[in-house]
Amino acid sequence: MTMRPHMRVSAEVADALDAGGPIVALESTIISHGFPYPANVECARECERIVREEGAIPATIAVIGGRLAAGLTADEIERLGTTRDTPKASRRDLPLLIARGSDGATTVAGTMAVAAMVGIQVFATGGIGGVHRGAERSFDISADLEELARTSVAVMCAGAKSVLDIGLTLEYLETRGVPVLGYRSDAFPAFYTRDSGFGVDARFETPAEIAAVLRAKWETGLVGGALVANPIPEQYALDPAEIEATISHALADAREGGVRGKQVTPFLLARIHELTGGASESANKELVWSNARLAAQVAVALAEYGPVGTHRHGRHE
């Protein structure tokens, strides 16, 4: 076993990697920035429970005390959920947090980067970042898209967050060679709603079919991830017209308040929560749990093929 510097992998995750078992990476930004306490901790624990229920091992990822951690303890999840101002950790932030010995809540990009370092190939999140509205002026494009282009991890999501320019986000993914696969849907979802008005590259009906595409991609040496679009369950979806009006309102508030950079998405999600009377938070939880379930099913199907490439990781000390 090769030990990576600054890496800490839980014994459970390391054993699963050694055995070629199914593992699902889970992000920690949703704990520190996605929901208020205690809903954030409850959501994270439910994600882990669902992954186990489907026969896979959960690996919640974060930076803990300057170490890249794959597999958090219950106390660490609680710590992230109750500590204010834990910084977001995208790829560019990881060396800074390591050097400072700090904690960090990994974003989609940060989680993908760490997952790939240890050999985890499947990741469940809520929605990816993308090209922000007005990006032709601001150049505000999420690092998630570049990470999908460079890192061989499949991301299960409910599409792109509906506060983004979804058309441009999909154009960017096409340019960077990232396949967008629809799970039982021809439409690309928009987080709170099931149809953004844009399509996916191909539709698949089973987790095994998705696993076969991933296997084909990586076995042929096509580096990079894949985006699996899993629409929010229909009974929890919000009305498209109402949520679009709410987003427009929240965007106007952000502009008036001078909100920029990393603070934009947390601000918008919090404002949308207020404007919808909490309905957006309930929808957010349900779509995250749905993605965790699909990710576990895909991971189980992928593990049946045997390992692709080699694993490099270090055990929890």
Of the listed ranges 148-162, 208-222, 269-283, the one predicted with least confidence: 269-283
170 in any annotated domain: yes
CA dist 102 to 6, 53, 99, Å? 12, 33, 8
The CA distance from 61 to 115, in Å, is 8
Ramachandran category for residue 295: left, alpha or beta (phi over 0 → left; psi -120 to 50 → alpha): alpha
Opening angle at CA 250, ends 249 and 256, nearest 5:
90
74 in any annotated domain: yes
317 in any annotated domain: no
**Phi/psi at 271 (5° precision):** -70, -40
* Mean pLDDT (whole number) for 93-99: 98
313 in any annotated domain: no
Assign residue 294 the CATH number of its domain.
3.40.1790.10
The CA distance from 265 to 215, in Å, is 33
pLDDT digits (tens, 9 = 90+) for 36-69: 899 999 999 999 999 999 999 999 999 999 999 9
Name the band, by pLDDT with cuts 50, 70 and 90, for residue 2. low
312 in any annotated domain: no
**One of 27, 76, 78, 281 is an active-site residue; which one?**
27
287 in any annotated domain: yes
114 in any annotated domain: yes
165 in any annotated domain: yes
**One of 48, 78, 161, 281 is an active-site residue; which one?**
161
Domain assignment of residue 228, given as a range: 7-303
Reply yes or no on whether 217 is catalytic: no
Domain count, the chain: 1
pLDDT over threshold 80, residue 292: yes
pLDDT over threshold 60, residue 309: no
